């Protein structure tokens, strides 16, 4: 079994997000890049499948982006147990999902993966399309929001999350591209041995130039307007608590 895991470097939750002078992207110099959360669940699922099958399966982490932002993501994937890595170098972070997916497919086509796992969506642009688009472009079967997987002979069963607490099992023949929902497993931490060993693993770098013009044009980023008249409460803890008590008692009347 040959499994690719698509991972993306995104700004951490704590990072300060500022629009840059071009007004189409953020100021990356003040951002700490980390692995997209659902991608780390996707990697763990692939590693567990490899370990369970125990038949010489291979897990390959794949990422796209600029060298500065992504190097940590690839090292982390290799340290956790991926066998090798493919880095598609592309500085143009702000590109539409279909163009990005074409670039992935062109570079992954000859690998003939049995399975492609990806996180259900990235926490930066969040289109949530890449895994499905790549699946279609490579003629694979597809499923999204996998919350449990079961590998069987020639096929994979996936428990898909639906809305409002509903689920559904689907069965896909290989090759398949499946997006993984966070919470499916407990992602491991890299071991010291893994971190040392990562340096000796293969890292293939390819130059990812977009061939077509983009299908979507990003005009500008903006700070969303507050929908409500929000009252700010800040200061020392005693003052905040007194203010909250007043609101709960006298304004909202949820306590007497």
Partner 1 sequence: MILVVLENQRGNIHAFSKEAVAAGQNLGSKLGMDVSILCMGENASSLKEQANDYKSQNLILAEHDMVNTYSADGYSKVLSDVITDLSPKYVIMGHSYMVRDFLPRVSAKLDIPFVSDIISVTYDGGNPIFSRQVFNAKLATNIQPDSNSNTTLLSFQSAAFSSDNIELGGSDAASVFEVNLNMEDIKSSSEPEFQESASGVDLTTADVIVSVGRGIESQDNIPMVESLAKAMGAEIASSRPVVDMGWLPSYRQVGSSGQAVSPNLYFSVGISGAIQHVVGMKGSKNIIAINKDEEAPIFEIADYAVIGDLMEIVPKLTEELQK
Query: Closer to partner 1 at the Cβ: 205 or 244?
Result: 244
Stretch that binds partner 1, among 48-56, 62-70, 107-115, 248-256 (CB under 8 A): 248-256
Distance between the two ends of the chain, CA-based, in angstroms? 63
Determine phi and psi for 2, rounding to 5 degrees.
-115, 115
Rule CB under 8 A: choose which of 34, 60, 64, 125 binds partner 1.
Answer: 125
User: Helix, strand, or coil here: 118?
Assistant: strand
| CB 239, min distance to partner 1, A | 10
Q: Does 208 bind partner 1 (CB under 8 A)?
A: no
Q: Are residues 221 and 19 in contact, defined by beta-carbon separation less than 8 angstroms?
A: yes
Q: Does 30 bind partner 1 (CB under 8 A)?
A: no
Rule CB under 8 A: choose which of 173, 204, 205, 209 binds partner 1.
Answer: 173
Q: Does 250 bind partner 1 (CB under 8 A)?
A: no
Q: Tokens 């096929």 appear where?
A: 155
Measured between alpha carbons, how far is 141 from 82 in angstroms, rounded to an integer?
23
| CB 160, min distance to partner 1, A | 8
Measured between alpha carbons, how far is 136 from 129 in angstroms, rounded to an integer?
11
| CB 104, min distance to partner 1, A | 11
Q: Does 17 bind partner 1 (CB under 8 A)?
A: yes
From residue 150 to residue 169, the character string flagging contacts with partner 1 as x (rule: CB under 8 A) and all else as - is ----------xxxxxxxxxx
Helix (H) or strand (E) holding 157: strand 155-161
Span 85-124, contacts to partner 1 by CB under 8 A:
96-98, 101, 120, 123-124
User: Helix, strand, or coil here: 164?
Assistant: helix
From residue 223 to residue 242, the character string flagging contacts with partner 1 as x (rule: CB under 8 A) and all else as - is xx-xxxxxxxxxx-xx-xx-
DSSP codes of every residue in 26-50: B-GGG--EEE-HHHHHHHHHHHHHH
Q: Which of 10, 86, 1, 76 shows the shortest CA–CA distance to 46?
A: 1
Rule CB under 8 A: choose which of 4, 181, 198, 208 binds partner 1.
Answer: 181
Give me the count of residues in the chain: 256
Measured between alpha carbons, how far is 49 from 68 in angstroms, rounded to an integer?
30
Query: Closer to partner 1 at the Cβ: 58 or 155?
Result: 155
Q: Does 244 bind partner 1 (CB under 8 A)?
A: yes
Q: Does 214 bind partner 1 (CB under 8 A)?
A: yes
């Amino acid at each position: 079994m040959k499994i690719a895991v698509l991972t993306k470097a995104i700004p951490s939750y704590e990072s300060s997000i500022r629009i840059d002078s071009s007004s189409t992207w953020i100021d990356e110099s003040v951002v700490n890049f980390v692995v997209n959360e659902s991608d780390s669940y996707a990697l763990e699922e692939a590693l567990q499948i490899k370990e369970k099958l125990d038949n010489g399966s291979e897990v390959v982490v794949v990422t796209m982006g600029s060298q500065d932002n992504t190097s940590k993501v690839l090292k982390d994937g290799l340290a956790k147990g991926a066998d090798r890595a493919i880095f598609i170098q592309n500085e143009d972070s702000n590109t539409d999902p279909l163009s990005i997916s074409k670039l992935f497919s062109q570079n992954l086509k000859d690998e003939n993966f049995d399975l492609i796992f990806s996180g259900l969506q990235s926490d930066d642009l969040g289109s949530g399309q890449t895994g499905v688009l790549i699946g279609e472009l490579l003629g694979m079967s597809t499923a999204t929001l996998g919350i449990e997987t079961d590998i069987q002979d020639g096929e994979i069963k996936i428990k898909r999350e639906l809305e409002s607490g509903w689920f559904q099992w689907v069965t896909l023949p290989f090759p398949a591209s499946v997006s993984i929902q966070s919470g499916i497993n407990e992602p491991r931490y890299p071991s010291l041995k893994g971190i040392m060993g990562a340096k000796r693993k293969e890292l293939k770098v390819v130059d990812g130039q977009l061939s077509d013009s983009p299908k979507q044009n990003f005009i500008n980023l903006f700070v969303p307007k507050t929908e409500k008249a929000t009252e700010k409460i800040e200061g020392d803890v005693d003052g905040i608590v007194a203010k909250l008590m007043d609101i709960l008692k006298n304004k909202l009347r949820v306590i007497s």
